[in-house]
Amino acid sequence: MCLAIPAKIVTIDGSMAKVDMMGNERIVSIDLVPEVVMGEYVLIHAGFAISIIDDESAKETEELLLEVAKAYEEEGQ
């Protein structure tokens, strides 16, 4: 199964960008979305921004991922 995580573009340096991914900063390639600008949300998979998404979709996806993490945590207790 493949999973893409939403992240907000913090800075851009050429074809690389620093993103905030649910509170964690990462450096990712933006070669696949060269039109992205700072402040936009992208989906990250395997170190690449693969598509630009709107703020609402990013927040909904983050909430769902947090719910899944919580369910796994509760199941493990």
Identify the pLDDT of residue 77: 60
Residues 31-46 have pLDDT tens digits of 999 999 999 999 999 9
Categorize the per-residue pLDDT at 1 as very low, low, confident or very high, splitting at 50, 70 and 90. low
pLDDT confidence of residue 3: 85
Question: Where are the alpha helices (H) located in the chain, listed in sequence order?
Answer: 55-76
The percent of residues above 70 in pLDDT, for the chain, comes to: 97
Taking the alpha carbons of 19, 21, 25, 30 in that order, is the dihedral positive or negative? Answer: negative
Which residues are paired to 27 by β-bridges? Answer: 18
Q: What are phi and psi of 46, to 5 degrees?
A: 55, 40
Q: CB–CB of 25/10 below 8 Å?
A: yes
* CATH level 2 (architecture), domain 5-76: Roll (2.30)
